[in-house]
Amino acid sequence: MMSLPKKNGSRVDSKEAINPFLSKTMDWAVHPFKEEYDTIFRTLTVNSMGEASGMACMTPLLATGCNQDQLKVIWDLADVDKDGFLDSEEFAVAMYLCHQVRDGHDLPATLEEHLIPPSFKR
């Protein structure tokens, strides 16, 4: 990738570094809570790809107070790549959805655009 010049003569690696509003995380509803969810995710056992299994995620997801039927739907929504595991972004989506349910919101039928993790957007 070509570096872009800065006013002081040094270089930056992307337009995003110059204009923070180009960031995909700006419109991700989960972003404000990601650090909190990452703290929980780091306590989980993950595979070599950095993904947690359903068993590994069970305790923190159950701790949100969602019932098993809600958690089944939440898992299906959050597992964006449908590989049966959650990476840190997918886990954050799951936790966000759990908290939305706890706060009285209905679960969406499909994962809405503002909930899709940045790394899954093209």
Tell me if 25 is assigned to some domain.
Answer: no
**Residue 91 in domain:** yes
Interatomic CA distance for residues 34 and 22, integer angstroms: 19
115, part of any domain = no
Whole-prediction pTM value? 0.79
Domain assignment present for residue 1? The answer is no
Domain span holding position 81: 34-110
CATH of the domain at 87: 1.10.238.10
- Whether 96 is covered by a domain: the verdict is yes
Q: Is residue 23 part of a domain?
A: no
pLDDT at 26: 60
In a domain, 14, yes or no: no
How much is the average pLDDT of 30-59? 97
Q: Which comes out higher in pLDDT, residue 2 or 45?
A: 45
Which is it for the CA torsion 71, 76, 80, 85, positive or negative? Answer: positive
**Residue 64: per-residue pLDDT:** 98
Question: What is the number of domains present in the chain?
Answer: 1
Model pLDDT, residue 3: 46
Strand extents, DSSP E, the chain: 4-5, 11-12
- Measured CA to CA in angstroms, residue 73 lies from 39, 47, 67, 77 at distances of 23, 23, 10, 6
Is pLDDT above 80 for 119? yes
pLDDT in tens, 51-95: 999 999 999 999 999 999 999 999 999 999 999 999 999 999 999
pLDDT at position 1 is: 43
- Give pLDDT, residue 20: 56
13 belongs to a structural domain: no
